[in-house]
Amino acid sequence: MTTTHMIVLPGDTIPASSLPISTNPNKALTLGPGLRHIPPNTIKATISGALTTDVRKNATWIEYNSGRYQPSPSDLVIAIIASSVSESYTCTLTPYAPPTTLPHLSFESATKKTRPVLPLQSLVYARILPFSRYTTPELTCIDPSTGKADGLGPLKGGMVFDISLAMARRLLAGAKGGVMVLEMLAEKLVFEVAVGRNGVIWVEGGNVTVTLKVGMAVQEVDRGGLGVEGQRALVEKVLRGL
């Protein structure tokens, strides 16, 4: 469960009382976007936004609106295969983000003989591994805690729709993010979605009409800042048009 504590400004020191308290003493605190650790025990904000924590993941970060995506460890992203070399793919997250790499064997049960062969411009749903400012971000399609794909991997068919970074964060937060349109549509329609923190949503509705309607509904909520009642009215409009 995520919790928002307060609004912070660049240079603010984060009080210990606002940090998550993990039930696992061996699990280190994970700092996400907008926070910097200053040894030995000081954590400062580097951007303005809402300080947010996730106790289950023992993680904290700053939610903020930004027009340009910056890769961050643990982010779920939708990547485009740009090229392939001997042992990895080079992937694009956005036109402005640095390229990332995806090892050929970073798929569930992959071996040199069974790994997926992905053509250029293919889409993959992946997670960003920890990296330093001096290294190229690396992606994986395996959950390290289970060794399984758990929903990650190549995305086949469907369409992608651009959304704001704030909307991507809200969708990944589920109902707690205030975006109910997908849950409402799923009560009447069958479709799959994958949300990338890099400002992309992939939708597969089984046919072009459903796919377009679902993706464009999410974009309309994003543009209009619709609340729950506005989203309910939008869903009714979409269903009438099918």
For 114-136, how does the pLDDT look when each residue is reduced to its tens digit (9 = 90+)?
Answer: 888 999 999 999 999 998 878 88
Contact 168, 200 (CB under 8 A): yes
Contact 128, 73 (CB under 8 A): yes
Whole-number average pLDDT of the chain: 89
Residue 164, pLDDT > 80, answer yes
Sign of CA dihedral 209, 211, 216, 218: positive
CA 178 – CA 212 distance, rounded (Å): 22
Count other C-beta atoms under 10 Å from residue 152's C-beta.
21
CA-only gyration radius of the chain, Å = 19
CA 176 – CA 120 distance, rounded (Å): 36
* Inter-axis angle of helices 228-240 and 208-224, nearest 10: 150
Rounded to an integer, the average pLDDT of 44-70 is: 80
Global pTM reads 0.76
CA 229 – CA 5 distance, rounded (Å): 26
Residue 24, pLDDT > 70, answer no
CB burial string 56-81: b at 16+ within 10 A, e below? eebbbbbbbeeeebbbbbebbbbbbb
Give the pLDDT of residue 176.
58
Domain annotation for the chain: domains and CATH numbers:
2-63 (2.40.50.100), 76-155 (2.40.50.140), 159-240 (3.30.1370.10)
Sorting pLDDT into bands at 50, 70 and 90, what band is 170? confident
Give the pLDDT of residue 213.
96
